[in-house]
Amino acid sequence: MRTLSIEAKTSIGKSITLMGWIDIRRDHGKLIFLELRDAAGKIQLVVTPKNAELHKIAETLRPEWVVEITGEVAARPDAMKNPEHPTGEIELKVTDILVLNESLTPPLDISSGGLLIGEEVRMKYRYLDIRRPRLNKNLKNRFKALKFIRDFLSERGFTEVETPSLSKSTPEGARDYLVPSRIEPGKFYALPQSPQQYKQLLMVGGLEKYFQIARCFRDEDTRGDRQPEFTQLDLEMSFVQAEDVIKLNEELLINLIRANYPEKTVQEIPFPRVSYKEAMEKYGTDRPDLRKNKEDQNLLAFCWVVDFPFFEKTEEGGFTFTHNPFSAPKAEFMPDLMNKKNIGEILTTQYDVVLNGFEIGGGSIRNHKPDALKKVFEIMGFEEKKITENFGHMLEALSYGAPPHGGIAWGFDRLMMLLENEPNIREVIAFPKTGDARDLMMEAPSEVPKEQLKELRISVEKPREKIKNRPRLHRDGSN
Ligand code: ASP
């Protein structure tokens, strides 16, 4: 039976079998020291020349070979003990070695943290990159955070619902990823920029408390804190006001940090509120970094930014929404919205949650009456026909007794990046894309066979020409 490295401590004097990867081999001539790495950590192994055959096998072992090793657990001589290391007080005196698989020499160093290695090679060999303990830890902690969120929300009566990935193009401010329809040539699905409309429709459906760990897709330039596909904690609630959503999310964030990151301190509870106007005047940004000590990695300064203008002027002189077209204005501005008056002055119910200068979430109370939602589209200058084509289904749904509702979505990758003290979100995503939206490991995007295009009735104008001046990826995540 297999024992994990961390469990060996309790087996001093006993024979155990470990399985994992050779992390390091140090050949001292007579004695060969090996470090074996498994899911639980690392452990030192010693091969003596007593058994010549075994010694010979040990000489052939190379980093990243996969082995099954049997031996007797022994306390290390006092001078060799390393109390800092979880298995630093013991070693395994090897009695048998079975090579389960050999490995080519890895094209990148796995034993280091990896942040100084060029990202192109890390992405191309991501499966090797993930072997490094830091990434392994990040993925495990990401899962722990997701589990905490799921447990917290389900205890409070939320239902997790999966919404479609093949959807309709929606105006959320970014470019859509399109998927051609085979059955209706010339028509396209869009991958969702967020589950916004579906979650509102679930409220019309009477679900009352929804959440989803949702994948979202936005075709925009990749940066340190942006990816073409990213993960949101998306939630929506019926019969609530902004205060209810804010309180619940604050409680969830604080509890998550206390449970999973006890070394971190939340600077101020309740999170301070800053109006958009104040943020811009005082800090020159709508995501202020309120940390009192910016040197301290474990200090978390959250704040809520509120009172955003609903609309902003477009270059053409019209108006567009600043955050979310489905938001309701603050109650006192509802008459102005309905009368399409003082448009530039209307404030929205939008609330953004900011952490150490990063926007990690945002949401609002929605317009649950169709007339009010329609006014938003009219202010944006949409013709009746366009409103019906694009939003007819939403306006219709709201006409069948839609309850008042509101919600929020967190940029989950960004939150994990900050909690794990990482410089960019790619360090907390298993298989991220590069700055120019490529998957170097799978070599996506890729050309497809002509037959596939024919089936979709698609002809490509200039198949091999790439967009010039594509942003390259830098180590710090900037382009
Ligand atoms: N759907 C919004 C977004 O992705 C979040 C929300 O308002 O709930 O930004």
Q: Which atom of ligand 1 is nearest to the CA of 363?
A: 7
Q: What angle separates helix 370-379 from helix 384-398, to the nearest 10 degrees?
A: 160
HEC string for 69-114: EEEEEEECCHHHCCCCCCCCCEEEEEEEEEEEECCCCCCCCCCCCC
Q: Residue 465: which pLDDT band, with cuts at 50, 70 and 90?
A: low
CA angle (203 as vertex; 191, 239 as ends), nearest 5: 135
Confidence class for position 122, pLDDT limits 50, 70, 90: very high
Residue 406 Cβ < 6 Å to ligand 1: no
DSSP structural state of residue 268 = S
What is the position in ligand 1's atom list of the atom closest to the CA of 234? Answer: 8
Atom of ligand 1 nearest to the CA of 232: 4
Side chain identity at 233, as an amino acid letter?
L
* Cβ proximity of 305 and 280 under 8 Å: no
For ligand 1, say whether the CB of 249 is within 6 Å of any of its atoms.
no
- Torsion (CA) 362, 366, 371, 372 in degrees, nearest 10: -60
Q: Is the CB of 364 under 6 A from ligand 1?
A: yes
What percent of the chain shows pLDDT beyond 70?
A: 96
Structural Rg of the chain based on CA atoms: 28
- Whole-angstrom distance, CA of residue 20 vs CA of residue 22: 7
* Residue extents of the structural domains in the chain: 5-101, 123-428
The 3-state DSSP class for residue 265 equals: strand
379, HSE (Cβ side, Cα atoms, 13 Å)? 27
- Calpha distance 151→130 (Å, rounded): 27
The pairing of beta strand 302-306 with beta strand 351-355: antiparallel
Whole-model pTM: value is 0.93
Share the mean pLDDT of the chain: 94
Judge if the beta carbon of residue 153 lies within 6 A of ligand 1: no
Is the pLDDT score of 94 beyond 70?
yes
Residue 408 Cβ inside 6 Å of ligand 1? The answer reads yes
- 80 φ, ψ to 5°? -100, 0
Whole-angstrom distance, CA of residue 385 vs CA of residue 406: 27
Question: Residue 111 — very low, low, confident or very high, per pLDDT cuts 50/70/90?
Answer: confident
- By the 8 A CB rule, do 37 and 23 touch? yes
Q: With contact defined as beta carbons under 8 Å apart, do 148 and 213 qualify? A: no
Tell me how far apart the alpha carbons of residues 330 and 251 are, in angstroms, rounded to a whole number: 24
Q: Residue 17 is inside which H or E element, if any?
A: strand 15-28
Q: Which residue's CA is minimally distant from atom 6 of ligand 1?
A: 363
Residue 305 parent element (H or E): strand 302-306
Listed residue (451, 413, 464) closest to 182, CA to CA? 451
Residue 304 neighbours by CB under 8 Å, 6+ apart? 246, 271, 272, 273, 274, 351, 352, 353, 354
Average pLDDT over residues 148-172: 93
**Residue 174 in contact with residue 445, Cβ under 8 Å?**
no
> N- to C-terminal Cα distance for the chain?
49
Q: What is the distance between the alpha carbons of residues 75 and 336, in angstroms, rounded to a whole number?
A: 78
Q: Which two tokens stand for residue 362?
A: 């945002």
In this predicted model, what pLDDT tens digit does every residue of 395-436 receive, in sequence order?
999 999 999 999 999 999 999 999 999 999 999 999 999 988
- What CATH number is given for 5-101 in this structure? 2.40.50.140
| CB within 8 Å of 453: residues ≥ 6 apart | 459, 460
- Label residue 450 by pLDDT band (50, 70, 90): very high
Centroid of ligand 1 to alpha carbon of 131 (angstroms):
34
Task: Report CA-CA distances (Å) from 416 to 91, 161, 427, 430.
Answer: 35, 22, 9, 12
Judged on CB neighbours under 10 Å (0-12, 13-18, 19+), 125 is: middle
pLDDT band at 223 (very low <50, low <70, confident <90, very high): confident
Q: Is the CB of 3 under 6 A from ligand 1?
A: no
CA-to-CA distance for 239 and 241, rounded, in angstroms? 7
Helix (H) or strand (E) holding 150, with range, is: helix 133-155
pLDDT at residue number 414: 97
Q: For position 432, what pLDDT does the model report?
A: 96
Q: What is the mean pLDDT of residues 365-383?
A: 97
Better-scored residue on pLDDT, 366 or 472: 366
Cβ of 409 below 6 Å from ligand 1:
yes
Gap from CA of 194 to ligand 1 centroid (Å): 7
> Residue 169, Cβ neighbours under 10 Å: how many?
16
Residue 130 has pLDDT above 70, yes or no: yes
Please give the number of the atom of ligand 1 that sits closest to the Cα of 327.
7
In short, whether 170's Cβ falls inside 6 Å of ligand 1 is no
Mean pLDDT of 70-79: 96
- Longest CA–CA span in the chain (Å) reads 92
Q: Give nearest CA residue, ligand 1 atom 8.
A: 408
Superfamily of domain 123-428: Bira Bifunctional Protein; Domain 2 (3.30.930.10)
| Ligand 1 contact via 407 beta carbon (within 6 Å) | yes
Which residue is closest in CA terms to ligand 1's atom 4?
A: 194
Q: How many whole angstroms separate alpha carbon 440 and alpha carbon 426?
A: 13
Long-range interactions of 381-388: CB distance < 8 A, separation 24+: 381/318, 381/319
Regarding the beta carbon of 363 and ligand 1, being less than 6 Å apart is answered yes
